[in-house]
Amino acid sequence: MGLHRLAIGRILDMHPALLTSDPHVYLYPVFDFLLNEVGIPFPDIAKTISRCPRLLVSSVSDQLRPALIFLRNLGSPGLLTFSVENNLVPKVEYFLVEMKGDLEELKRFPQYFSFSLEGKIKPRHRMLAEYGLKLPLCKMLKISDGEFSARLVDMRLRMVGET
């Protein structure tokens, strides 16, 4: 599939079970899925696997295809290795219900799904909501904790200055 020797070594180091797995049962279905259902061009398969080796140990029927269908319905890019029930659905529900977010914003910032719901999304949203403040997802999540705290203080000071 065009993977370089160093990439193969790194992948096998991360997922040693691949050494003893039957490629017809475990690997070929993933490659077929990426090529034919996701539509990744053959020359890009090696780069895709190198960037996300977990694809090779993910179930097409239980994980990859449901995630692809969910994301296509949502309109986001292929965040294929995330669990639909444990990652995607809770984050979408929280965003739409608790944050009263706009689906278009979620489409513009699909990286939202890579942030921890309990560790980053909820705490930051609650801090903003406590003061009636709102930030675009990218500005709320992409910055460090220190930068977020500084931005929150700055926004609160501006609010006080306006009253």
Domain ranges of the chain: 1-57
- Cα Rg, the chain, nearest whole Å: 20
Interatomic CA distance for residues 97 and 70, integer angstroms: 18
Band the pLDDT of 75: cuts 50, 70, 90: low
Q: How far apart are CA 9 and CA 13, in angstroms?
A: 6
Query: What are the tokens at 126?
Result: 């609650």
75: left (phi over 0), alpha (psi -120 to 50) or beta: left
Predicted pLDDT at 125 = 96
Q: In this predicted model, what pLDDT tens digit does every residue of 134-152 receive, in sequence order?
A: 999 989 998 888 889 999 9
Average pLDDT, the chain: 87
Mean pLDDT score, 51-55: 89
Nearest residue to 84 via CA among 58, 108, 102 = 58
**Alpha-carbon span 63 to 149, nearest angstrom:** 36
How large a percentage of the chain has pLDDT more than 90?
Answer: 33
Q: Answer for the pair 77, 62: CB distance below 8 angstroms, yes or no.
A: no
**pLDDT confidence of 81, banded at 50, 70, 90?**
low
In this model, does residue 124 exceed pLDDT 70? Answer: yes
Token pair 């921890």 is at which residue? 116
